[in-house]
């Protein structure tokens, strides 16, 4: 009886709509509602901030500026006072604020650190590739890995070993490759090569040697295709695609194992299987020989850590723990320093005065018997390059509870705070009216020594800041300074004219089209008369 009454009650309004309401009426009503909602959003939004449209949020503005999204975002932040809210499409679950205010960044990364973990939004998108690795972990899992990694990577033995791996790969792989390229001729000149690809290959070989103690051979003659490197690159790209794909789409594809999600699962499995086999082989070597005394890579040092960690099994860290932390370090070490060096060489090509001072710095270090760690001008030039072109242009944290940022911006629980590193490096309030100029001198004191330590780490967050400050910062500078000194002392890096150089929309600031260059043997290189120093070399 009750069911029949309910059906009858519903039938009357449905009949009314069918007889008296036309589709055009509904369309007009929807358009008016949309316009009113848009007007309200415009009137209540922060001055200078991008428009947040009904239903689609900030997406129209993003799509309109896909070709220059980083500069557009920096300009929008400058107009809006350094912070503005954002919202994605309905159903996407993405909302929060974007900021370039150093005080806000310090609040998130240090002052109220406990309220801003990576969060599930980030973790689930990298789950297949990184597992519970350090860059995908929060809480106690992150603290345990951070403590273990810092203890080993800051040890004297690992620092000596990692500096040695860079020198060997530069002298035995990179320099011979560039020398061969400089001698090959194409159309009357030296053959052109994508510098970004060469440096990515170098960085991959280097980080695999430092983290796993293996050589993938990416810099071998002919620049061969390496299955592990290819799988790693593809798994990274497909994991990042999840950040711009609605969750209901990629999660459905993952459940059905179709399209990019099926490819991601296969690529991530190949990466984790390779790392897992390396861990298993090293464990077997340890059982058989009783020691790994001849090995100083991160995996071997963690495997033989003494005393064992409090929560570990009697044999030390689990194989899964070792696999995940090593894969995480390969991800961090492959892209960042290689991308930073690519932008650095490009900037030098258009600033011959800076290149000349860098060459003088390298020559003095070689001729005076000093270590390359004293190449302060080179250090400043690399730091300045990363200010303008940070390897990671933006990062974010997710709020656990409601909060208010120092500039008064409210953040609700589960919202994200995106700190826009690219914009922070181009902020006049932080760097002065010449903030867009490439001027390494801003990092030197009056005596010419590097004085970057005096700057707040929360306005230069290239290596993150606070408790999550990059544990590989010293390793990265060692690698970059060694490569830059060796290459510039031996070769002129000539950028092929006519190519479009612009950032790629990605979590790492790749050059969208790579960077085609030619290498010419530097005629005056004999004038150095000394071994070109490597960073950290005694």
Known binding-site positions? 470
Q: In whole angstroms, how far apart are CA 448 and each of 208, 361, 376?
A: 35, 11, 7
Residues contacting residue 211 through CB under 8 Å, at least 6 positions apart = 297, 298, 299, 326, 329, 330, 333
Q: Is residue 51 a contact partner of residue 42, using CB atoms and an 8 Å limit?
A: yes
Rounded distance, CA 322 to CA 324, Å? 6
HEC sequence for 476-495: HHHHHHHHHHHHHHHEEEEE
Q: How many CB atoms lie within 10 A of CB 312?
A: 15
- Continuous segment of H or E residues that includes residue 383: helix 376-388
Binding site for heme, by residue number, is 470
Rounded distance, CA 319 to CA 309, Å? 14
Check residue 85 and report its DSSP letter: E
Q: Where are the alpha helices (DSSP H) in 389-472?
A: 421-424, 428-431
Q: In the structure encoding, which two tokens stand for residue 461, read together?
A: 């967050």
Q: In the structure encoding, which two tokens stand for residue 42, read together?
A: 């415009």
Residue with tokens 């070769």: 491
What residues pair up with 429 in beta bridges, in sequence order? Answer: none
Rounded distance, CA 292 to CA 285, Å? 8
Q: Is residue 409 a contact partner of residue 512, using CB atoms and an 8 Å limit?
A: no
Long-range pairs of 439-442 with CB within 8 A, sequence gap ≥ 24 = 439/384, 440/354, 440/357, 440/377, 440/380, 440/381, 440/383, 440/384, 441/380, 442/380, 442/384
Q: Which residues of 336-361 are buried (b: 16+ CB within 10 A; e: fewer)?
A: bbbbbbbbbbbbbeebeebbebbbeb
Residues contacting residue 60 through CB under 8 Å, at least 6 positions apart = 51, 53
Sign of CA dihedral 289, 295, 296, 302: negative
Residues contacting residue 405 through CB under 8 Å, at least 6 positions apart = 83, 97, 99, 101, 103, 104, 107, 108, 411, 417
Alpha carbons within 13 A on the beta-carbon side of 162: 31
Q: How many CB atoms lie within 10 A of CB 256?
A: 10
Residues contacting residue 147 through CB under 8 Å, at least 6 positions apart = none
Q: In the structure encoding, which two tokens stand for residue 132, read together?
A: 């519970």
């Amino acid at each position: 009886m009750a069911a029949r009454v309910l059906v009858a009650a519903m039938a009357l309004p449905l009949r009314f709509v069918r007889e008296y309401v036309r589709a055009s009426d509904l369309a007009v009503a929807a358009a008016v509602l949309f316009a009113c909602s848009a007007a309200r959003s415009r009137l209540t939004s922060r001055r200078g901030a991008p428009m947040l449209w009904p239903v689609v949020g900030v997406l129209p503005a993003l799509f309109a500026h896909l070709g220059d999204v980083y500069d557009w975002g920096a300009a929008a932040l400058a107009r809006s006072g350094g912070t503005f809210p954002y919202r994605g499409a309905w159903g996407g679950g993405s909302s929060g604020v974007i900021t370039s205010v150093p005080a806000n960044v310090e609040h998130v990364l240090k002052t109220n650190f406990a309220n801003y973990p990576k969060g599930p939004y980030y973790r689930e998108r990298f789950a297949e590739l990184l597992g519970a690795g350090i860059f995908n972990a929060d809480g106690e899992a992150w603290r345990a890995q951070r403590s273990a990694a810092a203890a080993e990577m800051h040890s004297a033995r690992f620092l000596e070993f990692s500096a040695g791996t860079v020198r060997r790969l530069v002298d035995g792989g990179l320099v011979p490759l560039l020398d061969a390229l400089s001698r090959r001729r194409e159309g009357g000149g030296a053959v052109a090569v994508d510098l970004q690809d060469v440096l990515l290959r170098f960085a991959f070989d280097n980080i695999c040697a430092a983290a796993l103690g293996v050589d993938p051979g990416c810099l071998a003659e002919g620049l061969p295709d390496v299955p592990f490197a290819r799988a790693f690159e593809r798994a990274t790209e497909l994991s990042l695609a999840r950040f711009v794909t609605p969750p209901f789409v990629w999660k459905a594809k993952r459940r059905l194992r179709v399209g990019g999600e099926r490819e991601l699962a296969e690529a991530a499995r190949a990466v984790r299987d390779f790392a897992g086999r390396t861990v298993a082989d090293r464990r077997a070597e340890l059982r058989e020989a009783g020691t790994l005394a001849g090995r100083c890579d991160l995996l071997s040092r963690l495997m033989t850590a003494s005393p064992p960690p409090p929560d570990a099994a009697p044999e030390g860290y689990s194989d899964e723990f070792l696999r995940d932390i090593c894969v995480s370090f390969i991800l961090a070490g492959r892209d960042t320093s290689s991308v930073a060096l690519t932008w650095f060489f490009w900037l030098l090509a258009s600033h011959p005065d800076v290149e000349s001072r860098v060459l003088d710095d390298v020559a003095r270090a070689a001729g005076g018997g000093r270590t390359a760690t004293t190449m302060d001008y080179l250090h400043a030039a690399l730091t300045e390059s990363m200010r303008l072109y940070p390897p990671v242009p933006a990062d974010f944290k997710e709020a656990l509870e409601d909060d208010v940022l120092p500039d008064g911006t409210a953040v609700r629980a589960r919202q994200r705070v995106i700190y826009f590193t690219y914009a922070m490096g181009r902020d006049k309030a932080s760097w002065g009216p010449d903030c867009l100029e490439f001027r390494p001198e801003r990092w030197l004191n009056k005596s010419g020594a590097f004085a970057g330590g005096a700057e707040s780490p929360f306005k230069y967050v290239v290596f993150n800041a606070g408790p999550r400050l990059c544990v590989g910062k010293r390793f990265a500078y060692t690698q970059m300074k060694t490569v830059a000194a060796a290459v510039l002392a031996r070769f002129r890096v000539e950028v092929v004219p006519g190519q479009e150089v612009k950032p790629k929309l990605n979590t790492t600031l790749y050059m969208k089209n790579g960077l085609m260059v030619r290498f010419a043997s530097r005629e005056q290189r004999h004038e150095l008369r000394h071994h070109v120093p490597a960073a950290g070399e005694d």
